[in-house]
Amino acid sequence: MHWTRTIASCAIALSMGALALTAAGQTPPAKPTTSTESAASSEQNWWKNAVIYEIYPRSFQDSNGDGIGDLNGITQRLDYLKTLGVDAIWLSPCYPSPQVDFGYDISDYENIDPQYGTLKDFDHLVAEAGKRHIRILMDMVMNHSSDKHDWFIQSRSSRDSPYRDWYIWRDGKGETATDKGQAPNNWQSDFGHSAWEWDEKTRQYYYHKFYIQQPDVNWDNPKIHQAFKDIVGFWLKRGVGGFRFDAITTLYEDPNLTDEDVLLDKDGKSYLNDYGDVALNDTRTNNLPGTHPVMQEMRAWSDTFNSDKFPGTRVLIGETYLPNIAELAKQYGTPEKPEFQLPMDTQVGFIDKLDIAQFRARLSEVETGVNGNIPLLVFTNHDRPRLDVRYGDGVHDTDIARVISTMLFASRGAALFYYGDEIGMKTTPPTRKEDVKDPVGLTGWPKDKGRDGERTPMQWNDGPEAGFTKAGVTPWLPVPPNYATINVKAEEGQPDSLFAWYQTLIRLKKSVPALSHGDNVMLDTENTKVLSWMRRKDGAASVVVSVNFTAEPQTLSLSVPNSSGKVKTLLKTPGAAEPSSISSIQLGPFGVFVGELQ
């Protein structure tokens, strides 16, 4: 059922209580009224204003005491996620895997790794999540498999294997009967060094965009297309709500194997990357046009599961690191040949500094430059340091997290965030190489310490191991020492906590028509300190949002045509003054104000 609500003085029950919200300056929404939109239409359009929560299964909740998070642990925490307000959970890979890249090296696409549970556990998770109107989204890795997958085992067994052309094999340059020669070209792995690995048995090189143990599959082979359609269908039949497609822009490479260009610094000289290799462009191994027909094919296939038997749109999300808004727009496809419903707009969330001009420009671009499609904003994931490292200043980290989350949830479109963001979990990288688990850190140390720091266990309480696993059990990564104060239990009952802020923002996103589906219109565009915008929807009250990008208090005066300027506060930084008009808004350091025009 789809609901609309209007903001009024009467409160709905939030987990910490309406009184607590009011005390924090967070006006709770009024009792919901039934929308005229049909239930069927709501099911079809659920993703257009969706709140999606990424879970790294190893690190969310350990239910069996082995120190590794699992599917049953996620099921145990579904009520928490329902209270938070999420619509869907994206699970990073939980398929059988040698765990070289912690699941992104898949050895069986149609099963669950025993350390995470069983298919029965997965089905139980899907069913229990469904009872709470939460969808499960799987991670679909189509660029490569594990070298332990049966496809590759067969492929490397012989040049005459029927699976040989399921992967990308090439002769070396200058190869002889006794000398393997050089790699076919200068292409590099994203994780360091050559992207080509010599296989002595069949005396050819195979290509791997990522780790040596992650050989790229050959998308010029029609059998690969059918194999992945079968895999996608396997999970759709189990009731998943869709997929996030990993590294999707890397499916194809230049068939001529042309060398990549060397990158040059500002002085016109080449330089070394974090792995000690000459830095190269990747235009011949990334974002080639062949990806688009593949995603058109996958979209058409997934849409066939959108029926009475499988209610609701299956949403396709793309991991789309792209250079500009025009390239992002292509990822949606066309009305005749649609591709992703929600390609990730990493150009907004991964600016990695509080640069107001860039945020204003890029939020405006995604509002106007994707042909009316729905943006998917994302600031955090399992591959990037958390917000404290990329945006924090060590003093105002919580207030800066409010700024970031306001841009995420109060802008038009769907929103994706990472477990622990809602309580302000911090990046905690290893301090010694011998403690590193992530192969990226093992290869890149000490310049690149890897991704362990953003994958630490979820901090549930101040008890042993933060409630992630049983007392006395060593978790797969250490629990950060700040768990004593940064944890769910400590924040759930506090009206001015970051958790309360996230929960309220999400509720406003769902309940206020202008915040649910209104356009973004930038305001006060010459201001170099405060970013302001309006959410505007025909037939609904407009909402004004202002976020201070500085550590100094700011006063601003806004005006909106055909408006008296009178405003009702929906949300503000705890302790801040409550304005009666947008002509005089007082913002503290990294302060936020969200108000509904009267």
Q: Which amino acid is at 206?
A: Y
Give me the pLDDT at residue 336, please.
98
3 state SS of 221: coil
Give me the pLDDT at residue 176, please.
84
3 state SS of 115: coil
Q: How far apart are CA 441 and CA 200, in angstroms?
A: 28
Q: How far apart are CA 299 and CA 110, in angstroms?
A: 20
Tokens of residue 199, six digits: 């296989």
If we measure between CA atoms, which residue out of 185, 63, 74, 80 comes closest to residue 125? 74
Give me the pLDDT at residue 20, please.
38
Q: How far apart are CA 168 and CA 253, in angstroms?
A: 10
Which domains does the chain carry?
A: 3-15+49-144+222-252+301-505 (3.20.20.80), 145-216+272-279 (3.90.400.10), 519-597 (2.60.40.1180)
Beta-bridged to residue 89, according to DSSP, are 53, 136
Q: How far apart are CA 149 and CA 105, in angstroms?
A: 9
Give me the pLDDT at residue 312, please.
85
Catalytically active residues, by annotation: 246, 319
Tokens of residue 358, six digits: 């860039």
Q: How many Cβ atoms from other residues are within 10 Å of residue 405's Cβ?
A: 23
Give me the pLDDT at residue 178, please.
82
Quick one: which H or E segment has residue 152?
Answer: helix 150-155
In this structure, are strands 88-91 and 135-141 parallel, antiparallel, or unpaired? parallel
What is the block-wise mean pLDDT of the chain (598 residues), using blocks of 10 residues? Answer: 32 35 41 48 90 98 98 98 98 98 98 98 98 97 98 98 98 88 97 96 97 98 98 97 98 98 97 95 98 98 84 94 97 98 97 98 97 98 98 98 98 98 98 96 93 98 98 98 98 96 98 97 98 97 98 97 95 96 98 98
* pTM for the structure as a whole: 0.93
3 state SS of 167: strand
Q: How far apart are CA 233 and CA 304, in angstroms?
A: 10
CB-facing half-sphere around the CA of 15: CA atoms within 13 A: 21
Q: How far apart are the first and last CA of the chain?
A: 28
Quick one: which H or E segment has residue 417?
Answer: strand 414-418
If we measure between CA atoms, which residue out of 239, 275, 219 comes closest to residue 123? 239
Give me the pLDDT at residue 40, please.
66
Checking phi first, is residue 67 left (phi over 0); if not, alpha (psi -120 to 50) or beta? left
Give me the pLDDT at residue 307, please.
74
